[in-house]
Amino acid sequence: MNPKSELSGVSPEQKSTLMACLKDGGSIIRRAYGRAHDIRKKSPVSLVTETDMAADRAIRRRVLKAFPDHGIMTEEQAAVESRSPYRWIIDPLDGTTNFAHKIPFFAVSIGLEYQGDIVLGGIYNPILNELFFAEKGKGAFLNGKRIRVSKTGSIIDSLLVTGFPYDRQKKARFYLRFVRAFMQRCRGVRRLGAASIDLAYVACGRFEAYWEFNLKPWDMAAGKLIVEEAGGRVTDFEGGPVNVDLPAQTLASNVKIHKKMLRIFLKYL
């Protein structure tokens, strides 16, 4: 057995498997991009395609071949329960609506959890060929080059990004309350449609902060680690820790504007 990193409990084989899974899923997505798809609705605004399922099967197959005793949680299939301290948290295609509409903002997102702590994270956009990666305690990287969050210290000079949960048709006014509040105070607000990409872009300094309600574990497991390893901060809207299994509120930032954003949330929650 390959030795594990003392900092994270990660072995070289686990890192290589994560990278291979990102590339496996990415290859399937890249080949299918731009074609007609078999689209099924999980809800009025939540889509799944045959490509989501194909990428999911390929990733699960590689993980279970390398680590048959590990647990697996994916968006598209039932979880693989395990007594192992390791669990793979996988979104085989984050941003399916973008993918179905031929908008190149989507990704394969994979986090490896060890004893309840995310220790490896990878996010791969196969169209833009951008692979974000982090190992706990060892920094964050984009295509092998070290990345850091931005140094912007004021909200007025910040570019922010957000997303809208699947219950947005019922709670649109509530969610737009926060968009309006920040839109009046910042340089701009964007909505890309893929939580993993939003988090990765905070990590590399393209955005100063990202917020969203009601993310799923696979939406943020990898991205949370990548932001933190890039020097950023991830909390709920009151500044408390985020539980990856129950991320009701997620605010990821460059640290410098975090407290300022929290004060605004407290006014509107």
DSSP string, 132-172: EEEETTS-EEETTEE--------STT-EEEE---TTHHHHH
Please tell me the predicted confidence (pLDDT) of residue 178: 96
Domains, in order of start, for the chain: 12-146 (3.30.540.10), 159-268 (3.40.190.80)
Confidence of residue 156 (pLDDT cuts 50, 70, 90): very high
Alpha carbons 35 and 32: distance in angstroms, whole number: 6
Task: Summarize pLDDT for 226-265 with one digit per residue, the tens.
Answer: 999 999 999 999 999 999 988 889 999 999 999 999 999 9
Alpha carbons 59 and 38: distance in angstroms, whole number: 20
CB 110 within 8 A of CB 16: no
Alpha carbons 247 and 30: distance in angstroms, whole number: 30
pLDDT over 80 at 8, yes or no: no
Residue 80 has what DSSP assignment? Answer: B
3-state DSSP assignment of residue 58: helix
Please tell me the predicted confidence (pLDDT) of residue 35: 84
What number is the average pLDDT over the span 62-72? 96
Confidence of residue 48 (pLDDT cuts 50, 70, 90): confident
Please tell me the predicted confidence (pLDDT) of residue 76: 78
What number is the average pLDDT over the span 216-225? 96
Please tell me the predicted confidence (pLDDT) of residue 6: 53
pLDDT over 80 at 36, yes or no: no
What number is the average pLDDT over the span 148-175? 92
Alpha carbons 161 and 219: distance in angstroms, whole number: 15
- Per the listing, tokens 């509530």 go with 174
What number is the average pLDDT over the span 51-76? 95
CB 180 within 8 A of CB 215: no
pLDDT over 90 at 183, yes or no: yes
Confidence of residue 5 (pLDDT cuts 50, 70, 90): low
Residue 5 has what DSSP assignment? Answer: P
Please tell me the predicted confidence (pLDDT) of residue 140: 98
pLDDT over 70 at 2, yes or no: no
Mean pLDDT of the chain: 93
Q: Can you say how many angstroms the Cα of residue 9 is from the centroid of all Cα atoms in its chain? A: 21
Alpha carbons 168 and 176: distance in angstroms, whole number: 9
The token duo for 156 is 């007025």
Confidence of residue 62 (pLDDT cuts 50, 70, 90): very high
Please tell me the predicted confidence (pLDDT) of residue 1: 44
Confidence of residue 212 (pLDDT cuts 50, 70, 90): very high
Q: What is the pTM of this model?
A: 0.94
